[in-house]
Amino acid sequence: MGPNAKVIPLGQMDGDAIRLVTVKKVWIDHNTLYECQDGLLDVTRGSTGVTVSNNWFRNQDKVVLLGHNDGHLTDKNIKVIVIFNHFGPNCNQRMPRVHHGYAHVANNFYQGWEQ
């Protein structure tokens, strides 16, 4: 973990498997994420330098959210790379969903996506 990383106790989580808020230079790599209360991965509040690679996302409605919503202007600075991931089976939306910011999404595998 880097010098700006914060570990939030489970009691303060909002239902995401991984939630990154105002982080810099984070690498999410080689994880299997599935069946969470909300989304599998949220990157929000101006986080930048985030790489999401070689993960398996499955059995989830809301998968990856980049930027909280259109009202959070700090999210315009988000810079995320989403590469070499496996989405599916049973993933429905947000693969990824981008609000503001910049995302480079390449070489991902989408299994059984019917939308």
Residue 47 contacts residue 76 (beta carbons within 8 Å): no
19 is catalytic: no
Among 44, 75, 39, 84, smallest CA distance to 59 is for 39
Longest Cα–Cα distance in the chain: 41
Torsion of CA 21, 26, 29, 34, to 10 degrees: 0
Please tell me which residue in 19, 45, 58, 94 is annotated as part of the active site.
Answer: 94
Q: How far apart are CA 15 and CA 42, in angstroms?
A: 10
Residue 65 contacts residue 41 (beta carbons within 8 Å): yes
Q: Which residues are catalytic?
A: 94
